Structure 1
Amino acid sequence: MFDIVLVPLDGAPQRAHVIDLAARAATPGSSTLHLLCVVDPSYAQPPGDPIRIEPSLREPGSIQADGLVCPYAVEQTGDAERILAAAAERLTAHGFAVERHVRAGAPGDVIVDEARRIAADVIVMGHRHLSRLRRWANPSTAGEVIEHAPCPVLVQTRDGGGHA
C-alpha cells in the first residue's frame, strides 16, 4: 500500500471509481490522500478572497481585488470545493487522512507539480475515452501525467456508467 496518494478529481461521473481505486491503494489510519482539483487560471479565486468576508458583495458574482465582478470564478472555485468536500467526506468515513487542494493552471502540469511538492508515492486518476479527433484537439491529461510523473500512476479507465 501507498502512504502518500495524490488523487486529482474533476466533475466527471467517473470520479466515484477513482475514489474507490484510491481507497484500495491506501491504508486507513496510515495513508494520507491528497485530493486535488485543478481550475482554469483565468477563473481562479485568489487565496483569502475578501469576498468571503462580505457576502452581500458577491451578488451576482465575486468581486476580485481589482473590483471587477467575476461570477465564473465563484462558480468554478465553488464546484472544485464541493467535489473535494464530497470525496473527503466519503474517504474520512473509512478512516483515511485527507487533505484538499484547489490549484489553478494546466491540469497535467499542476498534477505533476503537486505530486513532486507532496512527494507522492502514487497518483490515482481517471482517464476519459475520447475519439481520435477529440484526443488530437485536447491531448490526454492522464497521458501527460504518465509521461512526466515523478511516481507511479494508477489510471481508472471505467467510465461513470460502470463500463470497463
Structure 2
Amino acid sequence: MYTSLLVPVDGSEHSAKALGVAAQLARGSSAKVYLMTVAEFPPENMGLFTGGTPEPFTEEDREKLAAALKKDARQALDRVQDMVDLSGLQVEEVVRQGLPAKCIIREAKTLGVDAIVMGSRGLSDVRGMIFGSVSHKVSHVAECTVITVA
C-alpha cells in the first residue's frame, strides 16, 4: 500500500496521534517513516509582535533565537518518539528550518513519499485560527495523499 510516509511533528498530542497512525500504516505495509519537524525562522518583523519597532533585534539576537527554535524542534522529535512505539520500523529523522507548511510540502516532494500523515492541530491553535492551520495548507497544496488525524 505505502512505501514511504512523511510525519511532521511539533511535539503536540495531535502530532503524536498522527505518528501512531503512521506507525500502524507502516507496519501494515513495511513503509519507511520520515519523522519531520520544522524549526520556524524568527520573524523579520519580530519587534512589531513585541510592541517595539520593526528592527529591535540584532543579527546575533536572531541567531540565538534560531538556535533556540532548532533546539525546541529537536525536543519535539524526542517527545513524540517517547509517546509512540516505533520499534521494528525504518525511521529517518528530518529537521528543517523555515515556514512549516512550505517545508513539509517541499520535503514530501523531494522524498517522493506516498503520503503525509499529520495532526489536524498543533501547538499553535490560536495562530492557526488567525492565519490558517499548517495541516489545512498542506492538504490543499501537497501532490501526495494527506491523512489528517484529529
What TM-score, normalized by structure 1, do the two folds share?
Answer: 0.68
Matched, 1:104 2:86: no
Q: Give the equivalent residue in structure 2 for 1:80.
A: 73
Distance 1:3 1:122, change over 3 A: same
Which consecutive unaligned segments of at least 5 residues does structure 1 have? 44-66, 158-164
The alignment's C-alpha RMSD in Å is 2.7
Q: Counterparts of 2:81 and 2:111 in 1: how far apart (Å)?
A: 18
- The correspondence for 2:120, drawn from 111, 121, 127, is 127
Distance 1:42 1:153, change over 3 A: same
Distance 1:134 1:22, change over 3 A: closer
Q: Counterparts of 1:17 and 1:102 in 2: how far apart (Å)?
A: 19
Q: Counterparts of 1:41 and 1:100 in 2: how far apart (Å)?
A: 19
Q: How many residues align?
A: 131
Q: Give the equivalent residue in structure 2 for 1:41.
A: 41
Asked if the contact 1:3–1:27 (Cα under 8 Å) also holds between the matched residues in 2, the reply is: no
C-alpha deviation, 1:134, in angstroms: 5.8
Question: Which has more helix, going by share of residues?
Answer: 2
Q: Counterparts of 1:113 and 1:134 in 2: how far apart (Å)?
A: 20
Partner SS state of residue 121, structure 2: coil
Deviations 1:83-107 (A, max 9, x none): 22344564542x1111111111111
Identity %: 29
Q: Counterparts of 1:113 and 1:91 in 2: how far apart (Å)?
A: 27
Q: Counterparts of 1:134 and 1:7 in 2: how far apart (Å)?
A: 19
- The correspondence for 2:106, drawn from 97, 113, 127, is 113
Partner SS state of residue 147, structure 2: strand
- The correspondence for 1:68, drawn from 40, 60, 65, is 60
Asked if the contact 1:28–1:96 (Cα under 8 Å) also holds between the matched residues in 2, the reply is: no
